[in-house]
Structure formats: C-alpha cells, structure tokens
Structure 1
Amino acid sequence: MKVITISAEALTTGQIARWAALQAETKEFGSPLVGPYFAQLIQRHRGDVHVAIAEQDGRDVAFFAFHKASHGYARPVGAPFSDYQAVVSEPGLELDGTAFLAEAGIERMAVSGLMDPHGLFAQAALEPTLGYRISVKDGGAAKLERLRQANPKWAKNLRRLANKMDRELGPIRFVTGDTSPTALEAVLSLKVEQYHESGLTDVLRPNWVKAMMQDLFTRTDPNFGGCLITLYAGDYMVSGQFGVRQGGWFHPWIASSCPKAHPYSPGIVFLGQMIRYAEDIGIETIDLAQGHSHYKAQFSRNPVTVQTGQVGRRAIPASAVKSGPIGMIQKRLDLIASVEPDLAGRLHAGWTAVTSAPRRLMARGKAQQTDRVSTDD
C-alpha cells in the first residue's frame, strides 16, 4: 500500500468520484464534512487543504483531508466547521490509521467527532461522545409521531410552544430552502451578536469564512451546496439555520434566533418544524452534531457514538489532556489558530478573547440558570 499527499485543488475527476463512492458505501461516511466537495470548498477559500490518499492494487482505497500546521501537527479540514472527521475508506480494508497519518506527515491531530466504523484507530486513547442525528427517511409526520409515542408530555409541550408563537407573534411560516440573501444576512448577524454578547470567538469574522458562506449559499445543487431554513411568525423571522448539505444529509452550522422571541423557545419550535418539512427538499438526515445534549436528545433518540481527543503517533491520551481553566485556555487558543490562518487575525482574536473575558463569565453564569429549556413541563 502506498500513501500520497496532494493539494485538494489537484484532485482529479476520478479521485473525486472514487471518494464520493466510498462515502456512499458506508452510511457513517454520509456527512458532507468528510467528503471531497467540502475539501474543495475549503480549498477555494482558504487554500491550504491537503489530501492523503492510500493506494492499493492500482485503486484508491482511503481519503483524508486536513490542514498542515507545524512540527507534524495537523488540523481537520475546515476547522472549526468540521464537526466530524473520518478516514473515508473501503469496508474491510486492513489499514492502520495511525500509520496512514504518519505517511501523510501527521504526527498529532485533535479530533472532535472522529467517525471510525472500520476500526482504523485504537480507541483506548480517545473518549466517546454522542453525535445527534435525526432521521426523517420515513417522513416528518412519522418521525414526530414516534417522538410523541416516546414522550407524550414533551410532544404536547412542543405543540403548545408552536401554538403560543402562532397566536401571539403571528402565523407560523416555515421556509425550507430559503433563497433570500436578506434572510441569510439576518441569521448570520444574529449569530455574530450572540458571539459578542457571550464573549465567544467570532468564527464568522475571517474573510475566508465569509466567502465560504456566500459560496455555499449560491450553490443550490442538492448533491452539494448550502441550505438555509427559516422560521417566521407573521413577517417576523424568529429563527434560522444555515449549513451544508450533500444529497439527503443536512449539517446545519449556524443556528440563531431573535432575542425578542426567546420566551417562545424558537429553537425548539424550529426543530419541530424542520422535522415536519425537511422532506420537502429531499433531506433525510438532520445532523445536529455534538453538544447541547439536553435538547438535542429530545429530537434524536438514537445518537451515534464518535470519538474525541487526539490521533497520531504523538497523540496525547484524552485522560492526560488538561481540564479546568488551563484546558479551556488551550481550547480557545486552538480554536483561534484553526479559524485565523494568519498572524494578524490571531492577534486580533487573542486580544478580543482577553477583553471579552468578563462577558464570558457573565454569560456562563446566566447559562447555568437559563440555558436548559425544559420541554417536559
């Protein structure tokens, strides 16, 4: 077996087709974030995407896209928008994942949602976490009925929230595949305001991210492109989500809601409506990724297990990674380094992180009191 590393812009039509075919062979690889089109998207707007390809008996058998850093360190392609990582490979392939990465020059890489259905990596140094996905292959109405049967009280409250919004703010209107540039700008602007108020790093600030979002928005091909979905109450946009889709798999990145609508739990109402109407634009899987399990678990009753930690010959075991304030600082610095490719951007983001610390502390305290929106009441 031979491993080569090329730039994403050097991928041939045949390699792209082969990569996509390997995705289709294993359902866990269906996420747009681990395929060739996402790697090409990031290459167009960031320009430092490398692809490791394993070749065996004259055919390509594994693909992995990444960003090179220094001293053998690498980052997942498109970080921090890469909620999942995977070496997309043939089923049954005998491949040591760590050795494969080493051949590509990767000695260590942090992963936040490693999908490894073929067991290429040793799990001992990693920690499992849950990825929340909603399957609507049988239709939204059928999915909502299954959720109702599993938790009638929760389903009743979901209807109550939607009815309250409809009654007090205006008739609910759900737009799948919203093509309004104004709506996209509203969703992104609300998210930027949320970052500012909470003191979190504004990952939408870098020019490459802005260009990527606009590029995706103009690509309406369901095989790969952007997808904007919005919820209105009357003429009032209360919530929206924007992300990337590949075929029937939708992975929303940016979820935002108007603060004035928070008493109506717009995010909860939005998810209920999205389940109901996603099939209208051919969506079969809604991928909510990791985190915020207190509300995602209500909609995704069968989450998938993915791995978090580090991979590579010089990987630090998850059990040895620092926690507490030091660990939080390290994670923030890594986030800044991943989203800001140049020194000027990193200095700006670093200074902003320092000056926004009081807002983060206030937001964290407030979140402990109000973040959990119970839908069982």
Structure 2
Amino acid sequence: MRIEVTRPHELGENERSRWRALQKADKSLDNPFLSVEFAVAMSRLRDYVNVAVVHEGDRIVGFFPFERHAFGIGKPLGGFLTTCHGLIGEPGLKLDAKALLKACRLTVYEFDHLVAGQPTFAEFETDVRPAHVMDFTAGHEAWLAQVKENSPKNLKTVRYKERKFGREHGELRLEYGTRDPQTLQRLLSWKSDQYRRTGRVDRFAQPWIVELTEAMHAEQGDDFAGVLTMLYAGDVPVAGHFGLRTATTLVGWFPAYDTEFARYSPGLIHHFHMAEHAAKSGVHQLDMGKGGKEYKDWLRSGSVYVSEGRVSRPSAAAAVHWAGRTPFNKARTIVLDRPSLYKAADRVLKGFGRLRGHTQPEREEPSGAR
C-alpha cells in the first residue's frame, strides 16, 4: 500500500473518475457528501481540506477526504455541515487506521457520521445509530402507505392543513430543481432567521458557507447535483429546501419556511410534495440524517447506519483533544437518546434566540427576501 496526500481540487480527471467508480460500486457510499464534487468544492474554499489517495501497486483502491486542523487534529470533510463521511474505497478495503493517520499527518481523527462498519474504522466505533430515510424503491405510493402505517393521525393532520392552506392562500404547487438564484437567497434568508430564532449559530453568516451553497446549486451533473425546491401557495413562496443528490440519493440539508404561515406546517407539507417529485425524478431514497426531529420517525420507511468514534496516535495534542471532547460527546448522546431532554434543550435554545433577537439588531436580509 502507498498513500499520497493531496488537495481534492488538484486531482486529475482519471483520479476523479476512479473516485466516482468506487462510490458507485458500494451501495453504502451512495451519498453526495461522499462525492468527489463536494470534496473539490470544499477544497477550493478551505485550505485545510485534503485527501489521501491509497494505491495498491498501480491501482487506486481508495480515497480518504479529511480536514487537517491545528496540532494535527483531523476532522471529517465538511464537519458540522455534513451528515455522512468515510473512506471511499474498494468493497472490504481495510487499512491500518493509525498508519493512515500518520500518512495524513494527523494525531487524532474523530467522526460522528461515518458510514457504519467500514473495516478500517470498525474497531474504533463507539456508537452506531440509524439515519432515517424515505425509501422510494417500491414507488412513492408504497412510501406513503408506510407513512400512514407509522402514524395515521399525523398524516391526516398534515393533509387537513394542506387543504386549508390551499383554500385560504391559493393552490399549492412545488418547483423541483429550480435554478433561480433569488429563490436560493430567499431560502437562505429564512434559514438564517431560523438559526437566530432557535438560538443556533447562523451558518450563513460565514461567507464561505454561502459560497459553497451557491457552488453546489450550480452543479448539475448526472451523478451529482444541487437540488433546490420551493413550495408556493398561489404565487407566494412559503417553504423550501436545498439539498444534494447522487444519481439515486437525495440528502436533506437546508429546509426552511416563511414563519408567517407556520400555523399550516408548511415545512411538513413541503416534504410530502418534495418526496413525490423526488420519487418521480428517479431518486431511490431521501436521507433525513440521524437524530433530531420527531417527524423523521413517521416519515421514514427505512434506515442507513452511521457511527461515532475516534482514532488517535499517542501525542500530547491527542490527549488534550480527548479530555476536551469526551464529556461533550457523552452529554450529546444522552440528550439525543431521550426525547424529553432533546425537547428541553431545544426550548432553552429557542429562548436564548428570542432574547438575542431583543438585544441585537436584525441583520439586513438579501434583496428579494420576505
């Protein structure tokens, strides 16, 4: 085995083609956050993004994208922005994980959404969890039947609100895969407002994340693309979503809605319309990610699995990192495991968001945002 480390945007076309071929050969890698296009875009925007290219003889057998931060601290590509990461390699490929870290000049590598069961990292997994998906392989109607079985009451409520919304504000329609940049800016404005209201960090206050999102929106290949959807009531945009897709998997990324219409649950209504259009477009599954909101439990019709864990080489930096991160990770796991604690934490953050809104001036929204 020979490992070379380079920047993803410096890979040649033959290497990029090999990356795509390896991804397609393993169903567990069918996620756009594992695609070479995402790695290349990240590499062009952030100088700490790298990829280890693994050779066996004259053949490339794997790619390991990662971020190298101060003191050799390694993080998954995209970090908090992504819901899937791992080694893109030949099925069954097993590397010496610590030797891989050494080749990458990393002292530690911590992961929380790694494709579960990858041989290189399996012994370092400390927790494995399901990421719920909407499975359309048997068709949209089969998925809808599963949703009804999961919770007939919730489905009935959403359909009632959908009809009421249409009567009071105009016929509902969804634009799927819209290319309009102003529509994207409107969605990001809603999302920024949501982050502030709920006490979260506004990701779109960071220009590079806005630039990344715009670059992903511009990608429109057969194997990788940005997908922007917007739900309208009459001619008024009310809820939308921007995500990434491979040829067959769409990943949930940035959903948001206009709070003026919150009483109708426009975000949930949008998800139902998006599911129908995605299934018709050839998408086999919509990955909603692990943990979080209760709606995932009744919209799901399948799961994929992701893991948390940590690999380290003996060093002072790795020891300090472990001491600082372990209590936080344990606390987060406890909160995610208990719905009552998750709701309580969410309420606290929302209260903080309301307080912050009263004490700080509102940021000017992009032109065209409501």
Q: TM-score range by the shorter chain?
A: 0.7 to 0.9
CA–CA distance in 2 between the matches of 1:140 and 1:27?
Answer: 21
CA deviations over 1:116-168 (Å, ceiling 9, x no partner): 34322144652222212222133222311232244433332332232222222
Q: SS of the residue aligned with 2:223?
A: coil
Contact 2:177/2:228 (CA < 8 Å) preserved in 1? yes
- Whether the 8 Å CA contact 1:232–1:238 is kept in 2: the answer is yes
| Aligned sequence identity (%) | 27
Structure 1 counterpart of 2:174: 174
Aligned to 2:84: 84
- Aligned with 1:160: secondary structure? helix
TM-score, normalised on structure 2?
A: 0.82
Deviations 1:218-263 (A, max 9, x none): 2233422211011111122111001222222212321101111111
Counterpart of 2:301, as a letter, is: R
Shift of residue 78 of structure 1? 2.2
- d(CA) in 1 for partners of 2:325 and 2:189? 38
Structure 1 residue 322 and structure 2 residue 359: aligned? no
- What per-residue deviation string (whole Å, max 9, x for no partner) do you get for residues 252-284 of structure 1? 321101111111111211111111121343322
Change (3 A) 1:143 1:359: closer
Long gaps (5+) in structure 1 = 329-357, 367-377
Aligned CA-pair RMSD: 2.8
Residue pairs, 1:103-142, within 5 angstroms: 103-123=103-123, 126-142=126-142
The aligned residue for residue 284 of structure 2 is: 284
> Which residue does 1:11 correspond to in 2?
11
Aligned match of 1:236? 236
1:360 and 2:349 aligned: yes
Residue 171 to residue 361, structure 1, CA distance change in 2 (3 Å): closer
Q: For the residues of structure 2 that align with 1:172 and 1:3, how far apart are their CA atoms? A: 53
Name the structure 2 match of 1:42. Answer: 42
Structure 2 match to 1:246? 246
**Counterpart residue identity of residue 362, structure 1:** G
Per the alignment, do residues 97 and 222 of structure 1 end up closer, same or farther by CA in structure 2, a change over 3 Å counting?
A: same
CA distance in 1, matches of 2:323, 2:260: 40
- What number of residue pairs does the alignment pair up? 336
Alignment of 1:91-102 (within 5 A): 91-102=91-102
- C-alpha separation in 1, matches of 2:86 and 2:8: 16
2 CA distance for matches of 1:86 and 1:58?
A: 23
Matches of 2:180 and 2:267, distance apart in 1: 20
- 1 CA distance for matches of 2:90 and 2:28? 12
**TM-superposed deviation, 1:62:** 1.4
Between 1:21-30 and 1:196-205, the stretch displaced more is 196-205
Deviates more, 1:43-52 or 1:117-126: 117-126
Unaligned runs of 5+ in 2: 333-346, 356-370
Letter in 1 for 2:186: A
In structure 2, C-alpha distance between the alignment counterparts of 1:36 and 1:219, rounded to whole Å: 12
Instruction: For residue 203 of structure 2, give the secondary structure of its aligned residue in structure 1.
Output: coil
Q: Give CA deviations for 1:260-319 in whole Å, capped at 9, x if unaligned.
A: 111111121111111112134332221111232411111113222211243333667799
- TM-score normalised over the length of structure 1: 0.81
8 Å Cα contact 2:179-2:228 kept in structure 1: yes
